[in-house]
Amino acid sequence: MKSACVIGWPVEHSRSPAIHRYWLKRYRIDGAYEKEKVAPEDLARFLGALGARGYAGANVTLPHKEAALRLAAFADEAASAIGAANTLWLDGEGKLHASNTDSYGFMTNLNEAAPHWNGGRRPVLVLGAGGAARAILHGLIAQGAASILLANRTRDRAEALAKTFGPTVRVIDWADRARALAGCGLLVNATSLGMTGKGDLDIDLKALPSDAVVADIVYSPLETPLLAAARARGNRVVDGLGMLLHQAVPGFERWFGVRPEVTPELKAHVAAALGGG
């Protein structure tokens, strides 16, 4: 039997088991997917014994994403560029490989839900400067975004992030986010605002062109107030659950040998597990 796990601290909230267990059943694979609560000081030891514990690999969630990258013997281009790993696997010699599939997940979902997002090569406005924003900037630049405006409550974090991506990314003040929507082809919320229990993302969409795309990384609720407002004024919307599902694909394929599909049934299954209906 093959198995994999998600490693976090805490780990109870992780949605990864719902996704991978669905696919294991769907593809009739004799496998398991577990939750492993591992404290930061135990991570190196845990990963050193990953194979001995019977795991083919793992997902890594907070706060271990940077440490997991450092502990891996090999890292792919995305993990190195993003500076964090979310997917690990052991090769035939027991060496640990690291990848970051958040960028892949975001871009695959965006390309599927709004294939024309870069049609006019208009500016993109990204809100946020955490790990998710970093993965999204990496993906947008790799796929030809011509110009990205970056706004974050803490401007210093946005400046530091922009520096690592070069001249395509220009920082603007958080206070200017609504004005900056004029002429944009895509708005991405990469902050935690809009999530159940967090604050609201306060942004007036008036200046956003009606044919622009609005994407949110928040998936609980599935339709955030931002997406509801965008939909009401006729913008194409891309929800965060699609990103979560797509980022899981490469790991499952590595561990279990089948490239799984992201289907409406999977989406409904995970949405129900989230309590989103």
Burial of 277 (0-12, 13-18, 19+ CB in 10 A): exposed
85, 247 Cβ separation under 8 angstroms: no
* 128 contributes a contact to ligand ATR by CB under 6 A: yes
- Contact residue for ligand ATR among 125, 129, 150, 184 (CB under 6 A): 129
- Rounded Cα–Cα distance for residues 52 and 49 (Å): 5
Binder among 143, 154, 164, 196 for ligand ATR (CB under 6 A): 154
157 binds ligand ATR (CB under 6 A): yes
**DSSP 8-state assignment for residue 153:** S
| Least distance CB 184 / ligand ATR (angstroms) | 18
- Residue 67 exposed, middle or buried by CB count within 10 Å (0-12, 13-18, 19+): middle
Nearest to 49 by CA among 78, 71, 33: 71
| Catalytic center residues | 65
| 230 CB neighbour count, 10 Å cutoff | 25
| Nearest distance in Å: CB 247, ligand ATR | 13
Selected binder of ligand ATR within 131, 185, 242, 250 (CB under 6 A): 131
Q: Kindly tell me which residue out of 3, 86, 87, 191 binds ligand ATR, with binding defined by CB under 6 A.
A: 191
Contact segment (CB under 6 A) with ligand ATR among 17-25, 26-34, 35-43, 188-196 equals 188-196
Query: Which residues of the shown chain bind ligand ATR in the complex (CB under 6 A)?
Result: 128-133, 152-154, 157, 191-193, 199
